[in-house]
Amino acid sequence: MSAMFKRFKREPLLPILIVLVSLCLIVFIVFPLFQIFKASFIMNDGQIGMDGYKRVLSGGGLSRSLTNSLVLATISATLSTIIAYMFAYTFAYVKIPFKKLFNAIAILPVISPPFVIALSAMLLLGKQGLITKHLFGFENANIYGLHGLVLVQTLSFFPIAFLTLSGLLRSISPSLEEASQNMGAGKWKTFISVTLPLSVPGIANAFLLVFVQSLADFGNPMTIGGNYSTVAREIYLQAVGSYNMQAGAALAMLLLTITIIVYILQNFWVGKKSYVTVTGKPTGQRRMIESGAVKNLLFAACMIITVVVIAFYALVPVGSFIKLWGINNSFTLDHYKYVFNLGQKAVFDTLKLAVVATPIAGLLGMIFAYLIVRTKFRGKKTLEAVSMLSIAVPGTVIGIGYILAFNKAPLALTGTGIIIVAAFVVRALPVGIRSGVTALQQIDPSIEEAATNLGAGRAKVFSSIVLPLIKSAFFNGLVNSFVKSMTAMSAVIFLISAKYNLITASIMAQVENGRIGVASAYCTLLIIIMAFALVLLNTLVKWLSGTNRRTYYGKDS
Amino acid sequence: MKKSWIGKMATIALTATLFAGCGSNAGTSNEGTGSTGGNSTDKPAATEQAKKNNGKLTVYIGFQEDHAMKAIELFTKETGIQAEMIRMSAGEILAKVRAEKDNPQASVWYGGPADTFVQAVEEDLLEPYVSPIAAKIDAKYKDPNGYWTGVYVGAVGIASNKEFLEKNNLEAPKTWNDLLNPKLKGEIVMASPASSGTAYTAIYSILKVFGDEEKGFDYLKQLHPQVQQYTTSGSAPGRMVGLGEAGIGILFAHDIIKYQEEGYDNLVLTFPEDGTGYETGSIGIIKNSKNQDLAQAFIDWALGTSAQELGKTVGSFQNVTNPEAVGPEQAVDMSQINLIDYDVADAGSQRQRIIDKWNAEVNK
């Protein structure tokens, strides 16, 4: 008791912080999920029963959707991680032209509104697709189904993996690799035995992130899933299409269980090792690969992916000026007239709420990461696991959980902006935490210890040592939370109110009605807003840390 | 450096808050009033009384976005009652109303097939109200107890792609059995009944047309290999057929007309001569919600002529239920097609069983 008190006296901020953070998690994640858990046992007539689980586990469509989702998530996560690693490696290790362009392209899919890639896939590779029919003359190309989903999800999600990996690869200290080479190892050997092992936590994190996002993905399966049903879609269909909240909730609980298992496995596998590379000792700058087959190969691969991404994105702005894609290809401004007349409010509402949510989610993410990596307290593992829950369940579940949880006093939040901001933050948090954790795991705690020894308190250490060191992770967290908020769909579709309408809900409505032109115009506008915000955020973060950047980890931009 | 990090962060947070604050002011300031209108021919007492009551009405609307916005504008203009709306699909509205049961956020549910309303009545989520104007509406388009009243009607039709038909030397399908033509294998799209009210209406209609359920299911099993894809959204098949991704689609006629009007002029609309079903788009009041008097005024307005005639100006081509309103000229003449007796209550109560059976026996 007295030991605890002493610790409290020395660091009064820490326990307060832990309590606050735990409270946030309980109110905004555990409580709503508990409501869903409850709903999975309540039948439509109000009786308690196991019908939902029986329906899911009795075989047929619902259990098929579970296996489908797992297969899809495994393939998408593997492919995304490979592509992302290749991109990140190229950026950090290879001297190639157009680096800025590649970088922009690699994050472009992150700022993609839902449906965009799926819509483009239909237009490019569908039965009447530009590539499939008009370029190659295939008569019966079919984009609907598993292969279409893999393509679309890989394109949509590899940037998340990229953002996680790029900061990590850049901050691997070159001295380790130089040592390896000095001892006679070749480049390949160095890569296999130094670089790759050092990036294991990043790879595992990236894989996990894409895996859960794929499980929870809603927009893509809705658009081009075809007859390949996945869990997130099935939950929505059960809750919304079949009016069967119970089966939807039961399915959500099973999905949650699977994700938790994956998370535990990942943790078991990577969690115990130490990956410290930023030690505070001065290191030189990395010597980049400047020529050779490796360079050419990587350059070609980046080029191909870049072309593919550009092809997928160019269609959207083009489509927004075309009267009726594939039928009447004349130029029109009608779609923009519609968007500017009727969509204005949705655009401003979304922007406003996202701007509020972004700094909250960004800072919270870093605080969480710090607590997870650098502090010891009872229940830390639980805290960490709970913080990841929100990404592990499809947005629909969060949305319905939020209405169930926050519809009555004392937390009557439905219809307010707070509930949407909370959903934004909670959905964006896991990615922020993951990238923070990845970055922190690489920083030698002795730097902070040195500061502590010099008399700095924890808050001081956090603000002047930790934050600057994980700046790029912090930036990634900010970008991610802004983008996630701007493009959130399934989670907020039940939370929108007359006062706060959201642009994605409008896009979904347009897609549902087959008005691809208007949907494209909305998406184009959204992409422009997000690209602008990205530049702004980048500048801001640079300005924030510009003067006090140390030379701990060489060049980092 | 010193406190720069924290200081700068605070500056940003403050700016963000300010920005958000400004934004919200801008958001609310443009809700101009405008009680100058009032050219509606039907203006029952509820409206007059409600006008004095200075509340604000919230409506969940199942129409497409522009229709929904225009409807609210027109309502405020004609009645002077302040109103706001949220647009969602009918299934989403039901899910939201159910989740908000203990503290309803909206008073009126406007648009969406009657089956969803039947489900809501079963769960005790609606408040009955018999509008004086409902008397004009055909009995089959409304609930006898006033839980829901029809505002539009739309029949299930078949959309064909003209080029596809020509290329394969086919006629547009005229009966349900025409869809079993071997040339149509893998060419038909329809929505999944599990997700779409449209598809459920179609399947329930097919069961009725074939007389008994077993024969109907035999037909659906034969139809299954013809189907390329069961889409999530009810109207998506129209776009797919219009774009040539599929040859034939099964969906509501008013959606087919909408696609034609939007420029998909290769779409051909036919109706099965052996009979087809229809949906009744409805309106109802949410139980225990605020501003019940305003809600009643809204229903009176929605059943009136001006509201019903709004649809055709924004690309909604359903038939209207108020015989005094002039429907869209493009709309189908319902007396010219073979409509089955569509029992909404029965369709609603059989729904889960039929969908389960369809999943187990047809869509294996």
Residue A269 has pLDDT above 60, yes or no: yes
Please report, as a single letter, which amino acid is at residue B215.
Answer: K
Cβ separation of A243 and B116 shorter than 8 Å? yes
**Interface membership of B261 toward A (CB under 8 Å):** no
- Tell whether B285 is covered by a domain: yes
The mean per-residue pLDDT over the stretch B256-285 comes to 93
Cβ separation of B85 and A351 shorter than 8 Å? no
State whether B272 and B292 are in the same domain. no
- Separation CA B203–CA A326 (nearest Å): 31
The CA-based dihedral angle spanning residues A81, A84, A89, A95, taken in that order and rounded to the nearest 10 degrees? 160
Q: What is the pLDDT of residue A31?
A: 93
Which of B13, B65, B258 lies at the smallest CB-CB distance from A342? B65
Q: What angle do CA A520, A521, A527 make, to 5 degrees?
A: 85
Q: A151-165, B290-304, B342-356: which has the highest mean pLDDT?
A: B290-304
Residue A348 has pLDDT above 70, yes or no: yes
- Tell whether B261 is covered by a domain: yes
Cβ separation of B96 and A126 shorter than 8 Å? no
Cβ separation of A243 and B20 shorter than 8 Å? no
State whether B138 and B236 are in the same domain. no
| DSSP E strands, A78-139 | none
Element (H, E) at B190: strand B188-191
- Tell whether A31 is covered by a domain: no
State whether B344 and B283 are in the same domain. no
- Separation CA A33–CA A36 (nearest Å): 5
- Tell whether B70 is covered by a domain: yes
- Separation CA A184–CA A195 (nearest Å): 15
State whether B58 and B194 are in the same domain. no
Top residue of A234, A327, A482 to mutate, by most chain B CBs within 10 Å, is A327
Residue A282 has pLDDT above 60, yes or no: no
**Interface membership of A50 toward B (CB under 8 Å):** no
Of A12 and B266, which is predicted with more confidence?
B266
In total, how many domains does chain A have?
Answer: 1
3-state helix, strand, coil in chain A (%, to 5): 75, 0, 25
Cβ separation of B116 and A239 shorter than 8 Å? no
**For residues A332 and A344, is the Cβ–Cβ distance under 8 A?**
no
Report the mean per-residue pLDDT for chain A: 81
Reported as a single tens digit per residue, the pLDDT across A172-229 is 777 778 888 888 888 788 888 888 888 888 888 888 888 888 888 888 888 888 888 8
Q: Annotate A463-528 with DSSP letters as a single string.
A: IIIIHHHTHHHHHHHHHHHHHHHHH--TTTTTT--SSS--HHHHHHHHHHTT-HHHHHHHHHHHHH
Residue A405: closest CA among chain B residues belongs to which residue?
Answer: B99
- Separation CA B362–CA B356 (nearest Å): 10
Q: How far is B248 from chain A (nearest CA, A)?
A: 14
Which of A323, A345, A464 lies at the smallest CB-CB distance from B263? A323
Domain CATH number, residue A486: 1.10.3720.10
Flag the least confident range among A12-21, A32-41, A134-143, A531-540.
A134-143
Q: How far is A530 from chain B (nearest CA, A)?
A: 16
> Alpha helices, DSSP H only, in A271-394?
293-320, 334-342, 344-374, 380-392
State whether B131 and B209 are in the same domain. no
The mean per-residue pLDDT over the stretch A442-452 comes to 82
Contacts of A547 in chain B (CB under 8 A): 1, 4
Residue B21 has pLDDT above 90, yes or no: no
Chain mean position to CA A6 = 40
Top residue of A115, A240, A356 to mutate, by most chain B CBs within 10 Å, is A240
- Separation CA A540–CA B197 (nearest Å): 49
Interface of B with A in 90-119 (CB under 8 A): 91-92, 94-96, 98-100, 102-103, 105, 116, 119
User: Which residues 6+ apart lie within 8 Å of A422 measured at CB?
Assistant: A28, A402, A413
Residue A544 has pLDDT above 80, yes or no: no
- What b/e string do you get for A491-515 counting C-beta neighbours within 10 Å, with b at 16 or more? bbbbbbbbbbbbbbbbbbbbbbbbb
Interface of A with B in 353-372 (CB under 8 A): 353, 355-356, 358-359, 363
- Separation CA B364–CA B354 (nearest Å): 14
Reported as a single tens digit per residue, the pLDDT across A388-423 is 777 777 787 888 888 888 887 778 887 788 999 999
Q: Annotate A133-145 with DSSP letters as a single string.
A: IIIT--SS----S
- Separation CA A315–CA A119 (nearest Å): 9
Q: What is the pLDDT of residue A200?
A: 85
In total, how many domains does chain B have?
Answer: 2
The mean per-residue pLDDT over the stretch B81-86 comes to 92
Q: Reduced to 3 states, what is the DSSP secondary structure of residue B250?
A: strand
Element (H, E) at B249: strand B248-252
Residue B59: closest CA among chain A residues belongs to which residue?
Answer: A498
Contacts of A61 in chain B (CB under 8 A): 194, 359, 363
Characterize the bridge pairing of strands B56-61 and B248-252.
Answer: unpaired
Which of B96, B236, B360 lies at the smallest CB-CB distance from A403? B96
Residue A346 has pLDDT above 70, yes or no: yes
- Tell whether B57 is covered by a domain: yes
Contacts of A510 in chain B (CB under 8 A): 65
State whether B89 and B223 are in the same domain. no
- Tell whether A7 is covered by a domain: no
- Tell whether B5 is covered by a domain: no
Q: Taking the CB of residue A462, how many other CB atoms lie within 10 A of it?
A: 21
- Tell whether A440 is covered by a domain: yes
**Interface membership of A348 toward B (CB under 8 Å):** yes
**For residues A462 and A448, is the Cβ–Cβ distance under 8 A?**
no
- Tell whether B31 is covered by a domain: no
**Interface membership of B194 toward A (CB under 8 Å):** yes
Tell the residue number behind the tokens 């909305």, with chain if given: A522
Cβ separation of A327 and B243 shorter than 8 Å? yes
**Interface membership of A126 toward B (CB under 8 Å):** yes
- Tell whether A32 is covered by a domain: no
ipTM computed for the complex: 0.75
- Tell whether A2 is covered by a domain: no
Measured over the CA atoms of residue B344, residue B350, residue B356 and residue B360, the dihedral's sign is negative
State whether B200 and B248 are in the same domain. yes
- Tell whether B34 is covered by a domain: no
Give the tokens for residue A503.
């642009």
- Separation CA B265–CA A510 (nearest Å): 20
Please report, as a single letter, which amino acid is at residue B135.
Answer: A
Contacts of B13 in chain A (CB under 8 A): 359
State whether B164 and B267 are in the same domain. yes
Q: What is the pLDDT of residue A547?
A: 46
State whether B345 and B203 are in the same domain. yes
- Tell whether A43 is covered by a domain: no
Q: What is the pLDDT of residue B42?
A: 46
Reported as a single tens digit per residue, the pLDDT across A481-535 is 888 888 888 788 878 887 888 888 888 878 777 788 888 899 899 888 888 888 8
Q: What is the pLDDT of residue A27?
A: 92
Q: What is the pLDDT of residue A6?
A: 61
Domain CATH number, residue B68: 3.40.190.10
Residue A299 has pLDDT above 90, yes or no: no
Residue A497: closest CA among chain B residues belongs to which residue?
Answer: B86
Cβ separation of B91 and A547 shorter than 8 Å? no
State whether B70 and B120 are in the same domain. yes
Cβ separation of A498 and B99 shorter than 8 Å? no
The mean per-residue pLDDT over the stretch B101-115 comes to 91
**For residues B240 and B261, is the Cβ–Cβ distance under 8 A?**
no
Top residue of B6, B15, B22, B66 to mutate, by most chain A CBs within 10 Å, is B66
Binned at pLDDT 50, 70 and 90, residue A246 comes out as confident
Q: What is the pLDDT of residue A353?
A: 94
State whether B191 and B170 are in the same domain. yes
Tell the residue number behind the tokens 């007059």, with chain if given: B48
Domain around B50: 45-153+279-332
Q: What is the pLDDT of residue B35?
A: 37
The CA-based dihedral angle spanning residues A493, A495, A155, A340, taken in that order and rounded to the nearest 10 degrees? 70
Residue B60 has pLDDT above 60, yes or no: yes
Instruction: State what percent of residues in chain B have pLDDT above 70.
Output: 85
State whether B345 and B320 are in the same domain. no
- Tell whether A138 is covered by a domain: yes
- Tell whether A482 is covered by a domain: yes
Return the DSSP state at B272: -
Q: What is the pLDDT of residue A483?
A: 85
- Tell whether B220 is covered by a domain: yes
CB pairs under 8 A between A and B: 179
**Interface membership of B195 toward A (CB under 8 Å):** yes
Reported as a single tens digit per residue, the pLDDT across A70-127 is 999 999 999 999 999 998 888 888 888 877 888 777 777 777 776 788 888 887 887 7
Domain around A379: 52-323+334-545
Q: How far is B362 from chain A (nearest CA, A)?
A: 11
Contacts of B229 in chain A (CB under 8 A): 144, 226-227
pTM of the model: 0.79
**Interface membership of B8 toward A (CB under 8 Å):** yes
Q: Taking the CB of residue A326, how many other CB atoms lie within 10 A of it?
A: 19
**Interface membership of A404 toward B (CB under 8 Å):** yes
**Interface membership of A543 toward B (CB under 8 Å):** yes
